[in-house]
Amino acid sequence: MRYILVSLLALSSLFVCAKESATWHSDVIGVEYAHMSPAHWLNKLKTPNKVLMQPNEIAQFNKQLIETNPHVVDPLSTPKQLSQKALLKKIEATSKVPTSARFYADGTKLGSEDFEKYTANLNKTVLKSDNDVKYAMVVSRAVMRTFPTYDRVFNQQMDTDLDRFQETGVFPGDVLAVLHESADKQWYLAQHYHYLAWIPKAAVAIGNKAQILEFRDAETFVVVTGSKVTTNYVPNQPKISEVQLDMGLRLPLVTLSKNINQIHGQNPYASYVVSLPVREEDGSLSFSQALIARHHDMHQGYLPMTSENIIAQGFKFLGERYGWGHDYNARDCTGFVGEIYKTFGLLMPRNSGQQGSAKYGMNTRFNKQQKSEVKMPAVKEMQVGDLIYIPGHVMIYLGEEQGKPYVIHDVKGLGYKDPQGNFYRGTLNGVSVTPLLPLQLSANTSYLDRVYNIKRIRLSQAN
């Protein structure tokens, strides 16, 4: 009877897939319904569970990156004080008035008076000869901005998906060095591990280095391995109730004594009990126990870095809308890549140019003069998880289909030549599976024409 039931379930699943594929449609060249399943790509792997980097290698990778790469830092290593000159340099490097025109969503061009308003809020006039640095943690998902404002501005193309004041996102438990406060006292200039920009003060709690280190370096922890999970609902405690936690976040596990059978009115046995940073009314940092239901996609400790896990983690974002600089409660191409690799405990610079031009990992570089055919041998040698860089964009190699390379990436545009040789311009605007070689940036330029690096994430002495 058991085998009959299993067979019926399998037939039922095939029937559902057949119905779905019948209604599925794509204008993406070379993509079929089967390509939307991670199982399709996992089945191609000969050694899916081979560990590509051991935990000690990842720790060494991160250490080397912080020591040698100017775009990745330990915020807690920021000096306790910054001179007026040093702090002013950081403010002005972060909040530059653009040389090209900017526009509001209604089409109004920003004038000098608009930028004077934003620059006045930088609060440069209060800088002292020595300025205290504070250490802090993020308590809720938040934006980091070019200027201390939520105003959205765009370039002349008026693509309102690309807010030019949006820099990146930060997440609960992220560590910051707080360098300065805006004139309206609503924003902090903060140093994240891979970015310096303005963050809303309400998302930040000021603590001391010892308590932050204890949280950050806890030996027993869980990692968010789903695209997004939330803490359990807690009546009348909004600071810890249904808090969004994005992929790659690491939270300490709380060890409970045997006589604790309820937390926030709920038995904790079916949940992970974690320590969550919270912001007190005075802006100070404290920690509260929070529950994350065990049905959520979590993992105790980091995931092993394997080909199987790279594919599985990438597909958890499939179809998510593109979010420039983590806008739209989503992520962009480098955010997508970064969050996947964070589940293995691995850090990277924030922007694609910073990643692609950096020495870390194993790099196969090409200059602008090299033709696509020169790059093909390297393309044929790619391994699952390799990162493919073109100016302003990064893709993850998935594998081959009928001898052709396929990638998964978080991408805005779509372009290719149809079988008749006509250039087709469409849109993807989300996490997508595509073939690599047919994709075109324009009628005359392919993705492969512009590939300047293929990076394999491994420990390398070239860091």
Tell me: pLDDT of 14 over 70.
no
The per-residue pLDDT for 22 is 78
Residue 346 included in any domain: yes
* Strand partners of residue 176: 136
- Distance CA(247)–CA(237), nearest Å, equals 24
Please indicate, yes or no, if residue 80 is contained in any of the structural domains. no
Taking residues 409-435, report their average pLDDT: 96
H helical segments located in 69-167: 84-94, 112-120
**Count of all residues that appear for the chain in the document:** 463
Relative orientation angle of helices 333-342 and 307-315, to the nearest 10 degrees: 130
Q: Please check whether residue 115 lies inside any domain of the structure.
A: no
Mean pLDDT value across residues 321-334: 98
- H or E stretch at 179: strand 175-181
Per-residue model confidence (pLDDT) at position 4: 54
Domain count, the chain: 1
By the 8 A CB rule, do 230 and 244 touch? Answer: yes
Question: Is 137 contained in some domain?
Answer: no
Residue 5 has pLDDT above 50, yes or no: no
For residue 29, tell me if it sits in a domain.
Answer: yes
Give residue 214's pLDDT.
97
DSSP state letter for 402: T
pLDDT at 257: 82
CB 79 within 8 A of CB 131: no
pLDDT-based confidence at 6, cuts 50/70/90? Answer: very low
Q: Is residue 375 part of a domain?
A: yes
Instruction: Tell me phi and psi for residue 420, to 5 degrees.
Output: -90, 0
Which of 130, 327, 295 minimizes the C-alpha distance to 225? Answer: 295
- DSSP lists the bridge partners of residue 197 as 190
pLDDT at 244: 98
Share of the chain above pLDDT 70, in %: 95
pLDDT tens, residue by residue, 268-295: 999 999 999 999 999 999 999 999 999 9
Domain with 347, as residue range(s), is 23-64+304-456
pLDDT in tens, 70-122: 999 999 999 999 999 999 999 999 999 999 999 999 999 999 999 999 999 99
CA distance 261 to 313: 34
Query: Residue 350 falls within a domain, yes or no?
Result: yes
Whether the predicted pLDDT of 36 surpasses 90: yes
- Evaluate whether 333 touches 348 at the Cβ level (below 8 Å): no
Tell me: pLDDT of 1 over 70: no
pLDDT band at residue 17, thresholds of 50, 70 and 90? low
* pLDDT tens-digit readout, 57-76: 999 999 999 999 999 999 99
Average pLDDT over residues 199-227: 97
φ/ψ of 179, rounded to 5, equals -100, -30
For the chain, what is the mean pLDDT?
Answer: 94
Assign residue 381 the CATH number of its domain: 3.90.1720.10
Closest C-alpha to 462, from 388, 353, 346, 363: 363
Work out the pLDDT band at 248, boundaries 50, 70, 90: very high
Q: What percent of the chain has pLDDT over 90?
A: 92
> Is residue 355 in a domain?
yes
